[in-house]
């Protein structure tokens, strides 16, 4: 019997970023890539958040899976959903979770049960931390173009890691491009050995950035929290925006604060409960896990 067969789940979303949460704290078993991929056939999701027992003071350990079965180191919208769920269960308004990208702190914002803040940690800018396949001296703008030679449609993206790799292309209008066509080859470009999230970003004002994202392992999404953080940080590094901005995504707005005191990025936004369900065991027969 696999980890997900007959397992109950909770479906939530953060600005339309579809999140499925599975609680494995009492029966911890690893989830295979094939199982995670099969689960998305029954309950379509962008990310699957699996809860496990945590060592130390963390409220839980979290492993994050994309809908193609691959693992992710970060999902800001998903962490807000997990915090809201565990907060309601425990009565706590401040929580911490162990992830592959490190310890993540979350807390309820302004006594609003639907608004949570996630400390996404400090961004990383060095080429081998993002990572890139080859050395780059300045990751604020790298040599990467999309389109015909001499007349590229996209060029010189900023790159940054928020626990996962991001490439941000600066444009006048993020909706003017076919991201479903552009995103897949860029996600898997040889420059990104671990693939990358691809974002189109426009500066609306010093305190306002507008983005659309092709999410690594998940595809076109209504909201990607780590991409919002990455775009905000990249805009500030280029002196195009302040360190505290509103980032508008197709699903709504996130408040991003690149805190000067410790360089941590704080992301605040809403969560929404959708429904509960149970995975059909037969779904996982082809995954070899039923």
Positions marked catalytic: 75, 224
CA atoms lying within 13 Å on the CB side of residue 113: 9
- Cβ within 8 Å of residue 13, ≥6 positions away: 19, 77, 81, 251, 271, 272, 274
* CA angle (166 as vertex; 160, 170 as ends), nearest 5: 90
Residues forming beta bridges with residue 277, ordered by sequence position: 9
- How far is the C-alpha of 180 from the C-alpha of 144, rounded, in Å? 18
- Cβ within 8 Å of residue 66, ≥6 positions away: 36, 46, 47, 48, 72, 215, 216, 217, 218
Tally of residues, the chain = 290
Residues 261 and 7 sit within 8 Å (Cβ to Cβ): no
Residues 204 and 196 sit within 8 Å (Cβ to Cβ): no
Q: Which H or E run contains 185?
A: helix 179-187
CA atoms lying within 13 Å on the CB side of residue 48: 33
């Amino acid at each position: 019997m696999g980890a997900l067969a007959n397992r109950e789940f909770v479906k939530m979303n953060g600005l339309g970023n579809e999140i499925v949460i599975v609680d494995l704290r009492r029966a911890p078993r690893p989830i295979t890539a094939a199982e995670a991929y099969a689960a998305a056939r029954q309950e379509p999701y962008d990310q699957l958040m699996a809860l496990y027992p945590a060592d130390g003071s963390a409220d839980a350990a979290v492993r994050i899976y994309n809908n193609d079965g691959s693992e992710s180191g970060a999902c800001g919208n998903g962490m807000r959903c997990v915090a809201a769920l565990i907060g309601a269960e425990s009565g706590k308004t401040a929580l911490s979770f162990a992830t592959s990208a490190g310890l993540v702190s979350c807390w309820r914002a302004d006594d609003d049960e639907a608004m949570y803040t996630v400390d996404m940690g400090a961004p990383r800018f060095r080429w081998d931390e993002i990572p890139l396949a080859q050395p780059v001296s300045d990751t604020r703008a790298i040599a990467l173009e999309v389109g015909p030679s001499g007349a590229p449609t996209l060029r010189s993206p900023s790159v940054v890691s928020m626990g996962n790799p991001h490439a941000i292309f600066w444009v006048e209008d993020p909706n003017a491009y076919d991201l479903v066509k552009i995103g897949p080859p860029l996600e898997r470009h040889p420059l990104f050995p671990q693939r990358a999230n691809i974002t189109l970003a426009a500066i609306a004002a010093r305190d306002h950035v507008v983005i659309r994202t092709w999410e690594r392992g998940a595809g076109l999404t209504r909201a990607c929290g780590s991409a919002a953080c990455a775009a905000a940080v990249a805009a500030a590094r280029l002196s195009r925006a302040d360190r505290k901005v509103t980032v508008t995504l197709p699903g709504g707005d996130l408040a991003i604060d690149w805190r000067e005191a410790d360089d941590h990025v704080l992301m605040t936004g809403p969560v929404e409960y959708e429904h509960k369900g149970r995975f059909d065991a037969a779904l996982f027969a082809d995954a070899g896990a039923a």
